[in-house]
Amino acid sequence: MAVEAKPPNCLLSSLSESKARSGRNQLMRPTSLTSYLPAQTPIADEFIAQYENTMEINDCLRALVKFSTESLGMLCFNTRLGCLDGTANLDFVEDLGIFFRSIDESGRYIKPYRYFRTPLYNKFERAADNMYRVAREEMQKALDKMAVLEKVGKLEEYLKEPNFLHSLISHPDMTHGKAQSLILDLFVGGIDSTSNALTFLWHELALHQDKQERLYQEIRNVIGNGNHDVNSLAKMFYLKACVKESLRKNYPVGIGSIRRLTEDMIVGGYQIPKGQDVLIPLRNMCQDAKYYKNPDKFIPERFLRGDQSVDEETRHTEPFVHVPFGFGPRSCIGQRFAESDMFIITTKLFQAYNVSLAPEIPEKLEFIYRAFACPTTKVNFLLRKRN
């Protein structure tokens, strides 16, 4: 008799209870995450310093996976994992590819793995087990450390620095099991989504030197050669516009949002019954000339309020067309941290270097969806130091 093979508890696990979601939403507010800027900045500095001698970034996505793993390790477990200095005995690049490609394919094809172990399922399981094993071990180390500090009366001093894990498990609406599920999903999902989104963003800026120069001038005007703080990030309007435009042009997910209606509704003259699944094709809408003039062009100015360099047809005016992180209580759990990570590392890169595409890299970057958009080829950059 065939036995259904159960997928491991992974990214698809759900924190559906409203109280649990309320707790994590409060902790992921912008005001909560700004306190992590001092911890994120040294990681970005270390990443940039790697290229002072080589003056090129080969296989950008692989490099950014290491950066994102290190950065998310600091957020989730309050520790450095050693991904950038080579002391870590882990490399999630291959595992992430297998993991998310398997999830994507399992949703589109016949599912024989539900009844017996297929080669695809075995690869998926090995990749998932490896990544979640590392995450669980690091989480337990962090919990054990706090338990020891509490016994010797030093926990309060330790917690003067921001600690996301402690804030999470201490929240009255969050159980230990749900906290672990959220941390694991944030860690694994955040690595892949952030590293891919940054690769597309840097490709766009390397290709469009005029946009890169405008971003550099904003960096000079706001922080010069310094670091970001809460106030300076709030002034980086063009940087945020570049991120939004890259996410619009290279939409991070293949379709959009699916929601199951909890009551009967009439939308656009159509009656939709309760319990029906409704798909909002956000990717298609972001590439539709009806909403964005010249949708295949990289025009960050369309997201700048009051910018006179674009006309009204080009300007972004439909707020619910561009929601790459979702919207409301079921939006992406790591949105604020991912955005902060992208803002800091992008500022650091273009603050230090002029970035251009290596000769072999195409101007049009092809990609596939393996849950998140991923380039089909390696992306290499050439660097030139700023004066």
| Predicted pLDDT at 117 | 77
| Predicted pLDDT at 235 | 94
3-state helix, strand, coil in the chain (%, to 5): 50, 10, 40
Distance CA(279)–CA(277), nearest Å, equals 7
| Predicted pLDDT at 174 | 81
> Which is nearest to 120 in space by CA: 109, 133, 136, 131?
109
For residue 338, give the H/E element and its range. Answer: helix 335-352
3-class SS at 247?
helix
**How many residues does the structure list for the chain?**
387
| Predicted pLDDT at 206 | 98
| Predicted pLDDT at 153 | 95
Between residues 369 and 69, the one the model is more confident about: 69
Mean pLDDT, range 220-241, rounded to an integer: 94
pLDDT, tens digit, 9 for 90 and up, residues 313-348: 888 888 888 888 777 767 777 778 888 899 999 999
pLDDT, tens digit, 9 for 90 and up, residues 90-104: 677 777 777 777 776
pLDDT score of 25 more than 60: no
Mean pLDDT, range 168-188, rounded to an integer: 84
* Mean predicted lDDT score pLDDT of the chain: 84
- pTM of the shown model: 0.86
Mean pLDDT, range 146-160, rounded to an integer: 93
| Predicted pLDDT at 90 | 67
The listed CATH number (2.60.40.2470, 3.20.20.370, 1.10.260.40, 1.10.630.10) that belongs to domain 34-385? 1.10.630.10
3-class SS at 237?
helix
Distance CA(47)–CA(42), nearest Å, equals 9
pLDDT, tens digit, 9 for 90 and up, residues 342-360: 999 999 999 999 999 999 9
Q: What percent of the chain has pLDDT over 90?
A: 44
pLDDT, tens digit, 9 for 90 and up, residues 260-308: 889 999 988 899 999 999 888 888 888 999 999 999 999 999 999 888 8
